[in-house]
Structure 1
Amino acid sequence: MYTSVIIFILVYLAMGLGKLPYFNVDRTGAALLGALALIVAGRISPEAAWAAIDYKTIWLLFGLMVISGAFTLSGFYDWTAFKVASLPLKPSMLLAVIIIMGAVLSSLLTNDVVVLSMSPLLVSVTLARRLNPVPFLLAFCFAANAGSAGTLIGSPQNMIIAQALDLSFNQFFLWAGLPAILSLLLIWAILNLQFKNKWTLATPQKTSQASIGFKLDHVEVIKAGIVATIVIIALILDIWPKEIVALAGAGVLLLNRSLSSQDVLKQVDGNLLLLMIGLFICNQAIANTGLIQSLFASLKEIGFDINHPLSLYAVSAILSDLVGNNPAVMLLTPYIPHNEFSALLGASLALATGFSSNLIIFGSLAGIIVVEQAAKCGIQISFGAFARSGVPVTLATLLLGVIWILAAHVYIQI
């Protein structure tokens, strides 16, 4: 048992720090090493390790990554970012449009891919307009994290939650959609207030037109759009298994005469898939010891019962900022009961991890991507600058979530 505990702690320490202390091993490497160590040490058999991997979640995420990758290669994200950022609107209204764009695209096409694809062009276009890119980038990041919390396909952690609790697309949106939408108003209000007189740079920078060049493949955009629409409709109808729907859509897009399947598959985040596989095995090994169950029982004695939506909301919000969204969700979901509160519990977990992601730069992959992409364009967003906006946004949206969960919990009990 002690071997399992030590390995588990080291793996989740790496999740929190971003790498294994004293080694050049990132989160994915730590998860895989942990899984391998547990198997070699005999703490989990190879057969049990294989069975611990939730292949349905892996296939669902893989299929949706391929679909989103087709949009990336077709130039759709670049074109959308350019068109939106070029709208002849005053800064406060442009901020609102960018928030809506980030939320809508992220809720339908997976937030991290959307942020990675669109951030560089947002920087270039705002600089070309002599605007300060920071408020628009932060708004885009915050909206992507908060808005994506409202749908089953908005983020990897949402897919894990939906598969683990067997929630349909409609159930997920019913319980998480409205607070995710309302959070966008809070994001706009807070950033609009903070940057009211800071819409332009003190020292204007000019970007070259080459840096905002892109090529839009109309045929591939239409094809990807049709496939994505059919996939979303199929998910809403909930007739076929979610992972089969996603894989079917991916298969159609991979069978292509224009885009190379190799190029499309490069858009798949293989590191994330491997990280999830490693964590599935590590979590199962520690579950076999009974320690996690004992921990949750102890928490219940002091009032933190994860079977209660509000307690789960608080625990997952804290845990996601300590070890990351996906690891936190993967650790918690096996212990959430399947009952009349399952949908609300799933929504609580999604909203907590989505809203708390905006606290600090390292709270989400989207935050890291935005800061790194801005730095490549000469725009520095410091830890403090991010937190000055991220902290009030996170607190306001988390409070919104608390109000929603309390009201929904009372409604279910009536």
Structure 2
Amino acid sequence: MTALIIFLVSYLGIAMGRIPGLAVDRVGIAILGAIAMVVFGEVSPRQAVDCIDFPTLCLLYGLMIISAQLRLGGFYTAAAEKVLKFCDRPRLFLLASMLLSAVLSALLANDIICFAMAPILAWSLKRAGLNPVPFLLGLAMSSNIGSASTLIGNPQNMLIGQVGHLSFGAFFMWAVIPSFVSLAMAFGIIVALYRNDLIVEKIVATEDNRLDWPQFDRWQTGKGLGAVVVLVGLYLTDIPRDLSTLAVAGTLLLSRKIKSREMMALVDWHLITLFCALFIIIHGIGVAHQPERVLGFLSQKGFELTQPVFLTGVSVVLSNLFSNVPAVMLVIPCLNKSVPDPWYILALSSTFAGNLFLLGSIANLIVVEKALGHGVHISFKAHARIGVPVTVLSVLVLTIWAWYQ
């Protein structure tokens, strides 16, 4: 009972994002929950260490180092500037920016893509006389959708791939079609809803509003892109993904120009800490056999997680209540590792769910925060206006696709 209470309080705090009267965020709440599991004896200190999936953390850490290499090498800046040449054709520019975001997010963490590209787009779009809101919403939507197509596109997919021992190639072949169709529908929805609002009054540039973009370095960017190519090749072999990623990331740290301190400063240590804390919390309720009891009750009522519609619905609801990663950690213990399709459905549905509301994805919040820094306000309502239809249609496509596989 104690483990269940700790779990419920922790997840309620994660859903709220704060504790009233305290300056504690989601990561802090998760840490407190993990500490409580150990202090109250639900999880021993040894179990707390053993239950953390270190291969997943290594994979996440290594990919963040590779993303840092590309960011410091100016790759994201150069890529965004290439797309900006389509500014005089707004719809083509929206399509190009969404495709770029989706492809980059499939190969690297979507949060990093949004972090790097959002300020560049916000600043440049205002200068070009375009309404930044639909284009920035397109960035958020496409980064989430694109990241769903691979096992390295976002943190929850990395976790699902590692714990479920999924094949990188098999997952991509299963996920690429629903992801591509969802991306096309997202583009169509934004164009339809903003057909008369893509162009605004042109902003006069001043020295005060210039961006401090990382300067493009051909050699450093080449190293980062070469690392991505090598990494994808290694993922198609039987070598463990975490070891491949760490090895490639380690070679990038051997640099004469970029300090390792600069690269490691771009690692999202808060996200890694959140993973560790959630592993402990979920293990605590696992020891108390709570997931088995819930599954038994649902099974008696005719609901099984092997049913695509039910699994998708559960994933979407939990992802918007608790965010993607906590939701996935909650569902994973209930899945059978010998059957890959439910793992595929969980990966795509939890990622697509991030587009529903503004708080459903960290990528959304990053775009909004970075845009606000350049005078662009994206409201909850503006996001939901696009996010709700995009998510509903994406989930519908996923359900139909999964049903006929």
Give TM-score, length-normalised by structure 2: 0.97
Partner of 2:234: 234
* Residue 68 of structure 1 pairs with residue 64 of structure 2: no
Partner of 1:179: 178
Distance 1:149 1:324 in 2: 15
Alignment equivalent of 1:363, drawn from 355, 360, 365:
360
* Residue 216 of structure 1 pairs with residue 213 of structure 2: no
| Cα contact 2:87–2:128 (8 A) shared by 1 | no
Residues 292, 85 of structure 1: alpha-carbon distance in 2 compared, 3 angstrom cutoff: same
Distance 1:126 1:21 in 2: 38
Partner of 1:112: 111
1:298-309 aligned at under 5 Å gives the runs 298-309=297-308
Q: Structure 1 residue 393: deviation in Å? A: 0.9
Q: Structure 1 residue 177: deviation in Å? A: 1.6
Runs of 4+ in 1 over 6 A off after TM superposition: none
Partner of 1:412: none
1:197-242 Cα offsets, whole Å, 9 max, x none, are 11112x5433446624531111100111111110111112x22100
Letter in 2 for 1:369: I
Q: Structure 1 residue 73: deviation in Å? A: 0.9
| Cα contact 2:345–2:402 (8 A) shared by 1 | yes
Letter in 1 for 2:153: G
1:258-337 aligned at under 5 Å gives the runs 258-337=257-336
Alignment equivalent of 1:403, drawn from 389, 400, 405:
400
Distance 1:397 1:208 in 2: 41
Distance 2:270 2:375 in 1: 28
Letter in 1 for 2:377: Q
1:172-207 Cα offsets, whole Å, 9 max, x none, are 112212111111110111001011111112x54334
Letter in 2 for 1:247: L
Distance 1:118 1:44 in 2: 42
Q: Structure 1 residue 120: deviation in Å? A: 0.1
Partner of 1:157: 156
Of residues 373-382 and 152-161 in structure 1, the stretch that sits farther from structure 2 once superposed is 373-382
Q: Structure 1 residue 286: deviation in Å? A: 0.6
Of residues 172-181 and 239-248 in structure 1, the stretch that sits farther from structure 2 once superposed is 172-181
Alignment equivalent of 1:386, drawn from 378, 383, 386:
383
| Cα contact 1:81–1:118 (8 A) shared by 2 | yes
| Cα contact 1:13–1:20 (8 A) shared by 2 | no
1:348-400 Cα offsets, whole Å, 9 max, x none, are 01111111111111110111111111111111111111111111111111111
| Cα contact 1:79–1:216 (8 A) shared by 2 | yes
Letter in 1 for 2:290: L
Distance 1:194 1:358 in 2: 16
Letter in 2 for 1:325: N
Structure 1 stretches lacking a partner, 5+ long: 409-414
Distance 1:129 1:304 in 2: 52
Alignment equivalent of 1:351, drawn from 348, 351, 354:
348
1:61-94 Cα offsets, whole Å, 9 max, x none, are 1111110111111111111112212325511111
1:357 aligns to what SS in structure 2? helix
| Cα contact 1:152–1:159 (8 A) shared by 2 | yes
Distance 2:310 2:95 in 1: 33
Q: Structure 1 residue 307: deviation in Å? A: 2.6
CA RMSD of superposed structures (Å): 1.3
Partner of 1:205: 203
Distance 2:140 2:87 in 1: 22
| Cα contact 2:127–2:202 (8 A) shared by 1 | no
Identity of aligned residues (%): 38
Q: Structure 1 residue 13: deviation in Å? A: 1.1
Distance 2:84 2:96 in 1: 9
Distance 1:83 1:305 in 2: 48
2:293 aligns to what SS in structure 1? helix
Letter in 2 for 1:357: G
Partner of 2:130: 131
